[in-house]
Structure 1
Amino acid sequence: MDFDLSWVLWGLPIAFVLGWLASRLDLRQLRIENRLAPKAYFRGLNFLLNEQQDQAIDAFIEAVQNDPDTSELHFALGNLFRRRGEYERAVRVHEHLLSRGDLSRAERHRAQHALALDFLKAGLLDRAEEALRKLEGTAYESQALLALLSIYERTRDWSNASVTARKLDASGHGNFNGRLAHYLCEQASSAAPEEAVELLREAMTIAPDVARPRMDLAALQRRAGESALAFETLADLAQSVPASIPLVARPLTDAALASAQSDKATQILLASYELSPSIDVLEGIVALEPDPAIARNWYVKHLEREPSLVAATRWLAGEKLEDETTHASVQNALEHAVKPLRRYRCAACGFEAKQHFWQCPGCQAWDSYPARRVEEL
């Protein structure tokens, strides 16, 4: 059978024409699509770059209406609503995404995480907790656990906080032993004495370098009339965590006086003072000194070593000037001046307080208060 070349001659031009028509149709479709969503989308990005959030929201809404199946536009719109504080609108956007059946598994998890953030920012902690728990086993699990930990701390749910901290620690997302020790101490504060002791000893085992468990245990022992045991607990803390001695000085002194162990307590405080002078340690030494004259002279020695308005005020309180009225006026002025110097200051946010906090009331950071007062920083 002979092959007819005429068919090839006719076929080549026809194929060329068909290919040209197909390319023109594709270009036309592309231009139509570019005229619809991207114009509004890029306009919205331009508004965002110029910090014009109201106009950006309007542009994104227009883009979503032109292409309702585009999930990225929904995420951008929801995040914008959340940043503006319009949490209800953000929730509606993310809930609409979750209701779609064509959403991929990864995008569904992303939408669930965004919804949890909406609830969290809105202060709806119970709904945020429910949404975050659904992220277990997803790529957002670590972020969800950290958010849950923050919720449990804010609501003082120390039991769930302990469970969550253990999960984070086990998954390798940091060392949470210090926080876990504080959670156990918080639980111990409202537990029966026997259970409280067990919780505090567990905290001591988990975080031996945290001062709070031993200090709380010593306070518990003092309330039970076991001053000797309380002293031994605090002496052990002073040896294992020397940086905590300024915090321990006052309760150590009280326990020593109650259990007739003043000499041993004085040795501990003197050794600490020689290494690093501290007002609180100095106060402990003075309280244990039986001779009033020697006790007052300790303030003079401290002033020779460290300039301290607090120490000067303490020394002046034990002295008597010829004019008692002038003495009282000077003393009152100094007492007023040193009040800010006796405070503790958070190293994370600078929040100052009269007492030492384990968790900063300002920024909620744990162990951010140094053991030393403002004057000594």
Structure 2
Amino acid sequence: MDFETWWLVFVPILFALGWVAARVDFRQMMSETRTLPDSYFKGLNFLLNEEPDRAIDAFVEVAKLDPETTELHFALGSLFRRRGEMERAIRVHQSLLSRADLPVADRENAQFQIAQDFLKAGMLDRAEAAFEAVRETRFAIPAMRALIRIYESEHDWPRAIEAVRRLRALVDEPVPQLVHYQCEQAEGALQGKQPDFERAAKALDEADNAIRKLGTGQGMYASQARVAGLRARVARMQGQNEQERAYLVSILSSAPEYVGLYATELLDSYRKLGRGEEGVAMLRSHYQQHPSLDIFNVLFRVLREQEGHLQAWAFARDALRAHPSLLGLDKMLEVELQDQGQSKEGAEGAEAVGVDQIIAGADLSLLRSLIHRHTQRLDRYSCSSCGFEARHFYWQCPGCNSWETYAPRRLEELK
């Protein structure tokens, strides 16, 4: 198409229109700027100067002068919550909810924000009601996750399980702690003077179903160990010794690292069936492949009881050479001193001579006291999430409430 020179007439016209539009936008921006309170600019200045406390005070003043600043209210509420000023955060969000002209989307957001305020403030009943109020909104998924945490902290396992099911209806994601909710229900059924074995068995069946849905992974091994241990406990309480043994033996293959937690029960189950030596041999074989301080302690104690000092100390020497452990030596000396104290009034026989031959002239009490002072801090389990240390193994960390964060090994074994 040929270019027409008369089109050039439009060039200055377009330029003039652009200039006019720019001037109009600039004047509008200046007009809006002049309407902003001075406190707004003071707050920005304080933020730039890294003075957050004074900035917050300035923005609070802006919110008082102009109640229509919805976004500023949300920002202030979040700031107060992060700083731990829960009363101020709650007041900010309550002021939003009290407005009749608040849009639906902002009302839902305010309801969700105040629910988080209540949760962080420890007002669980009010937090639960607030999260329930947004179940049918765009905040449904985070609200369900928060409700699960609330039911966990209250140990309300049936409602926690129901909340997990509602969450799974909203989003397809695994919830590993569901297995432990079922296990907690089973443990609750076994407590008291009249255990409810039927309810415990049903809960453990549900736990097995949850494990199958999780698939493979390290968490699956921990869950399998706990379920098998609880099934063994049910069998023991019902006097079903062979079933108890079978459940405990299954842990050796399904969750070998967790065998140490059940080593004593495993040997006791073999003894009840008159197969104590077989149980010791099996546990010694497992120790060779999966050494554990718990298994070492159990084996040393039972070998000393059944086969005497020489066999027990021979096992201990070989084990500690392969896997040096101050904790292992400490526990070994503790057993030795206990047995010496019990047999002190008895006749001095071959057994006493055996110990003297192993460590002639040694003061076991002094040796143990020196070692024990250094091993106390190592004789603990540690949470991999928050670092909380405990003398006992927990499936749920008492510090951060995370599940399966305790390795079935003490601190010395993890180094």
Normalised by the size of structure 2, how large is the TM-score? 0.77
Which amino acid in structure 1 is aligned with residue 185 of structure 2?
A: Q
1:309-357 Cα distance to aligned partner (Å, 9 max, x none): 1333345454345658x33222333334333333211122222211101
Residues 237-272 of structure 1 show CA distances to partners (whole Å, capped at 9, x for unaligned) of 222122222222222122222222335433542342
**Cα distance change of structure 1 residues 376 and 104 upon mapping to structure 2, 3 Å threshold:** same
* Contact 1:165-1:179 at 8 Å conserved across structures: no
Give the corresponding residue for 1:199: 203
Structure 2: how far apart are the matches of 1:143 and 1:70?
26
Give the match for residue 315 of structure 2.
Answer: 298
- Report the equivalent of 1:7: none
Q: Which amino acid aligns with 2:46?
A: F
Distance 2:119 2:109 in 1: 15
SS at match of 2:378: helix
Moved more, 339-348 or 284-293: 284-293
> How do residues 254-265 of structure 1 correspond to structure 2 at under 5 angstroms?
254-265=268-279
The one-letter amino acid of 1:301's match is D
Paired letter, 1:94: H
Identity across matched positions, percent: 40
Query: What is the match of residue 341 of structure 1?
Result: 378
Distance in 1, matches of 2:86 and 2:329, equals: 56
Measured at CA, do residues 288 and 166 of structure 1 come closer, stay the same or move farther in structure 2, by a change above 3 Å?
A: farther
Partner of 1:355: 392
Shift of 1:114: 0.9
The amino acid that maps onto 1:280 is D
User: RMSD value over aligned CA atoms?
Assistant: 2.8
Q: Partner of 2:156 in structure 1?
A: 157
Q: Secondary structure at the match of 1:341?
A: coil
Q: Secondary structure at the match of 1:206?
A: helix
* Preserved contact between residue 256 and residue 290 of structure 2 (Cα < 8 Å): no
Q: Which runs of 5+ in 2 are unaligned?
A: 1-15, 190-195, 212-219, 337-354
Is the 1:273–1:282 Cα contact (8 Å) retained in structure 2? yes
1:307 & 1:28 partners in 2: Cα distance?
80
CA distance in 1, matches of 2:68, 2:165: 41
Structure-2 change in CA distance of 1:37 and 1:63 (3 Å) = farther
Instruction: Please tell me whether the aligned partners of residues 36 and 66 of structure 1 are also in contact (alpha carbons under 8 angstroms).
Output: no
Distance in 1 (CA, whole Å) between partners of 2:302 and 2:106 is 67
- Between the aligned partners of 2:60 and 2:162, the Cα distance in structure 1 is 42
Secondary structure, counterpart of 1:153 in structure 2: helix
Q: Secondary structure of the residue that 1:277 maps to in structure 2?
A: coil
Cα displacement (A) at 1:364:
1.3
TM-score, length basis structure 1: 0.84
Query: Structure 1, unaligned stretches of length 5 or more?
Result: 1-15
Q: C-alpha distance in 2, partners of 1:38/1:158?
A: 52
Matches within 5 A, 1:175-214: 175-176=174-175, 178-191=176-189, 192-207=196-211, 209=221, 210=223, 211-214=225-228
CA distance in 2, matches of 1:171, 1:286: 52
Whole-angstrom CA distance in 1 between matches of 2:377 and 2:234? 31
The 8 Å contact of residues 64 and 70 in structure 1, kept in 2 or not, is answered as yes
Query: Residue in 1 aligned with 2:253?
Result: 239
Matches of 2:114 and 2:91, distance apart in 1: 9
